Amino acid sequence: MAKGVNLKSLAKELGISVTTVSRALADYDDVSSATKQKVKDKAQQLGYRPNHAARRLVTGRSSAVGFIMHGAYGDFRDQFNSRLIVSLSQALHDVAPNHDLIITTVPQDKSELDTYKRFVDSGRVDSFIVSRTQIQDPRVDYLLSQGVHFVTHGRTADAEQHCWVDTNAELGFRQATESLIQRGHRRIVFLNFPQQLNTAVLRQSGYQAAMQAAGLPGRMIHCEFGTTCAYEPVRAMLAEPLAPTAFVCASDVYAYAVLQACLDLGLMPGKDVSIFGSDNLPPVDSNRPQLSTLDVSFSAVSHAIINLLLDQAASSRSVIKHKLFDYHLLERNSTGPCPANVKT
């Protein structure tokens, strides 16, 4: 790094102590206004640039929020993750222009928790956003034990002990399933997230509530993250004698895989097979049928997360706040009535 004006040279120039210069620049009460002004004027005149590594030692504050992504939960290539990160970055820049969202990925075969520890130990960030929350989440346990500020996107079994922002998945998936039942579907399969995710449990319970209320047997599979994992099992199901007529999908990523399987088998989405997705992820092809999906604003969710984080940073005592968003049902081209000629 280039050498420039630092606290020491400023102090020498002004003929006062380094401590006084440091405390003057940090606006401490024990430095007189006159001295503060003198120090700040000189700092500006000489082009002094604060060394934040030093500053953090004094204030315990960096201006960075960490987001650590593990390969097992999809990485940047996962459309949900990439959109969430872009939206969080935008929200942070909007609300706190001098803050940065600092993102890192952990390969699937490496420990995510080691990276958290490295970030905490190094003081590289002073707060975290934790996504893809598990029911029992070791990241949450660790951050609570360290007293580090964080907000989760998604709840955990310990939801009362930490700040979170989430969507009402139980209600949303019940409504999506009900809308298919009302259109006459009876064989409705649920493509769910991996079972350790907290939201997978909520999604499942919404789906099951709707199926049970209609006296229908449920059928659910858990899919790993990624675009390809849903394709094969769905294609196999569609070849069964009593094939499903509808799919409810925990993510549009899975819904697009169902769409693809339908097209490959010559089935028309929205007519032969109905597909309900989630998260309103944009299609890759503009001329494909538009997915019916559970919509929630990435921007609204991101602003809520950022605001909870900044509230924590601004508050001297621990304040636990939550924000639950409702999904908006977007019924588009991929859902329709159950075909009349379907075998029962």
CB of residue 145 to its own copies, shortest distance in Å: 7
Name which of 15 and 147 has its Cβ closer to its own copies: 147
CB of residue 121 to its own copies, shortest distance in Å: 5
Name which of 287 and 341 has its Cβ closer to its own copies: 287
CB of residue 209 to its own copies, shortest distance in Å: 34
Cβ atoms of 247 and 276 closer than 8 Å: yes
Name which of 120 and 310 has its Cβ closer to its own copies: 120
For residue 150, which phi and psi values (nearest 5 degrees)?
A: -160, 160
CB of residue 24 to its own copies, shortest distance in Å: 19
CB of residue 56 to its own copies, shortest distance in Å: 5
Name which of 168 and 227 has its Cβ closer to its own copies: 227
CB of residue 40 to its own copies, shortest distance in Å: 17
Cβ atoms of 223 and 193 closer than 8 Å: yes
Name which of 288 and 322 has its Cβ closer to its own copies: 288
Cβ atoms of 31 and 23 closer than 8 Å: yes
Alpha carbon distances (Å) from 184 to 63, 178, 201, 291, 292: 54, 10, 26, 19, 16
Alpha carbon distances (Å) from 285 to 251, 259, 268: 17, 12, 16
Residues making contact with its own copies (CB under 8 A) = 1-2, 49-54, 56-57, 60, 62-64, 75-77, 79, 81-83, 85-86, 89-90, 93, 97-98, 100-107, 110, 115, 118-124, 126, 145-148, 227-228, 231, 260, 263-264, 284-287
CB of residue 226 to its own copies, shortest distance in Å: 11
CB of residue 249 to its own copies, shortest distance in Å: 17
Q: State the burial class of residue 279 (Cβ atoms within 10 Å of its Cβ: 0-12, 13-18, 19+).
A: buried
Name which of 110 and 219 has its Cβ closer to its own copies: 110
CB of residue 339 to its own copies, shortest distance in Å: 24
Name which of 90 and 196 has its Cβ closer to its own copies: 90
> Rounded CA gap, 271 and 250, in Å?
21
Name which of 237 and 281 has its Cβ closer to its own copies: 281
Name which of 86 and 216 has its Cβ closer to its own copies: 86
